[in-house]
Amino acid sequence: MDGKAPAIRKPRLTFWQILNMNVGFFGIQFSFGLQQSNMSPIYKYLGAHDASLPYLWLAGPITGLIVQPLIGAMSDRTVTRFGRRTPYFLIGALICSMCLLAMPLSPALWIAASLLWILDAANNITMEPYRAFVGDRLDASQHAVGYLAQSAFTGLSQTLAYLTPSILVGLGMQASATNSHGIPDVVLIAFIIGAICSITSVAWSAWTTPELPLSEQERERMRHAPHSPGATLAEIVDAIRDMPATMRQLALMMLFQWYAMFCYWEYITLSITRSLYGTTVSGSPAFTQSALISGQMGGFYNFVAMLSAFAMMPLARRIGAKPIHVVCLLCGGVGMLLLPGIHVRSMLFAPMIGIGLAWASMMGNPYAMLASSIPPQRAGVYMGLFNVFIVLPMLLQILSVPLIYENVLAGNPENVIRLAGGMLLVAALLTLRVKVHRLG
């Protein structure tokens, strides 16, 4: 029975159909791109201290730690006429859009931080069922293409998210123009664009790519499954106990790669300001210019990620996701180690090629390695738990960097970027020990 059911329920999709079903990931990742490129500058504009920045990013890992496995488990046993995953990513996208509209209007630091908590919770409500949706909809032989398509949309959306302020300046807006709270007008417009993209792209995918109908047997099983909070928690505990070996091996690798990326997102603007201008003072022309430069660098590495994700699709079919991920992480680690030593603006973009390769691989290949090793009926809870392996390293980074920032890292944001580079190299080595298994 297990061998025949997937063939009936999961017809092979064309390349363009796979792209179409993942359009919604464009909006989800546009929101994340706005956060990555703008939250540290927004916090600085509102008066945050350099060493306290990681604490103000706590929203992502804490909400992810709670929301992701819960929503994943709930979506596994949800039965509605719209499907089991679709209601979650539509509701999450709507809340996300409202938070994006409000964020650049924050009059105080605590309001911006509070909005980030709600925004990250909404993004997690949307993203985890979306990850499971790809596993639900695609045959196992197309998992790598499906998740690399999400990686490509991540690259495209974050390219635009990072570059939008610079594009607006190029169209005639003044980079120095701010609202009454000191937040640049170009950032305000960028967040409005992100709010529109979030809801419209997710709605498009939900409309054009409906979920596959469940069999009556599956519907009955889900209807009779307990839906209480206690039952949901019990399902998560059972899933942890029965976690596939591949997933356990991936967890340690994820610890290092995501610790590295959070270091980069929090401190890249400060690192550039110091390496190019010798200061980290917010409100100065140098800081404003560095925020635009880091946005352009982020846009470039995400553009590289978009192109490389497409190139990885045929490679993943031929040689598998694992060797690709090893090479890409090595490239990203070298790129980050080189960044702080560059003092010429134009040369800052060269290391972004390696970081873009690593980012493209991180958003697709670990999920491809995981998807074939988890039971389909528990895809939601396992995708939620897998993303806990993203938020736990982020939480560890947030709690540890302020403790070592002054003494170990000499109060220098460039050293945080160097630390990130070393972490990516370790992650590459740990990927070598992952054994990819297929169920059935």
Q: Report whether pLDDT(356) > 90.
A: yes
Rounded Cα distance, 80 and 59, in Å: 30
Structure tokens at 117: 């908590």
Handedness of CA 298, 412, 395, 114 (dihedral sign): negative
Rounded Cα distance, 101 and 97, in Å: 6
Yes or no: say if 353 and 306 are a contact pair by the CB < 8 Å rule: no
Q: Report whether pLDDT(8) > 70.
A: no
Cα pseudo-dihedral 113, 168, 361, 357, rounded to 10: -130
Candidate ranges 28-32, 93-97, 139-143, 307-311; pick with highest mean pLDDT: 93-97
C-alpha pair distances (Å), 192 with each of 30, 31, 213, 216: 11, 10, 36, 43
Rounded Cα distance, 417 and 405, in Å: 12
pLDDT in tens, 193-218: 999 999 999 999 888 888 877 777 77
Closest CA to 411 of 420, 400, 398, 402: 402
- Residue 439 confidence (pLDDT): 52
> Cβ atoms within 10 A of the Cβ of 400, count?
13
C-alpha pair distances (Å), 277 with each of 288, 336, 401: 11, 19, 23
End-to-end CA distance of the chain: 11
Q: Is 178 helix (H, G, I), strand (E, B) or coil?
A: strand
Rounded Cα distance, 354 and 35, in Å: 22
What percent of the chain clears pLDDT 70, i.e. is strictly above it? 95
Q: How confident is the model at residue 98 (pLDDT cuts 50, 70, 90)?
A: very high
Q: Is 19 helix (H, G, I), strand (E, B) or coil?
A: helix
Structure tokens at 179: 């609202």
**Residue 48 host element (H or E):** none
Burial of 281 (0-12, 13-18, 19+ CB in 10 A): exposed
pLDDT in tens, 254-289: 999 999 998 998 899 889 989 898 877 766 788 888
Rounded Cα distance, 104 and 186, in Å: 10
Candidate ranges 127-141, 194-208, 414-428; pick with highest mean pLDDT: 414-428
Mean pLDDT of 407-418: 93
φ/ψ of residue 116, rounded to 5? -65, -35
Q: How confident is the model at residue 391 (pLDDT cuts 50, 70, 90)?
A: confident
What percent of the chain clears pLDDT 90, i.e. is strictly above it? 28
Query: 184 pairs with which residues across the strands?
Result: 178
Q: Which conformational region is residue 202 in: left (phi greater than 0), alpha (psi within -120 to 50 degrees), or beta?
A: alpha
Q: How confident is the model at residue 189 (pLDDT cuts 50, 70, 90)?
A: very high
Yes or no: say if 46 and 181 are a contact pair by the CB < 8 Å rule: yes
User: Token match 């105080």: residue?
Assistant: 108
C-alpha pair distances (Å), 96 with each of 64, 69, 198: 14, 19, 7
Q: Is 264 helix (H, G, I), strand (E, B) or coil?
A: helix
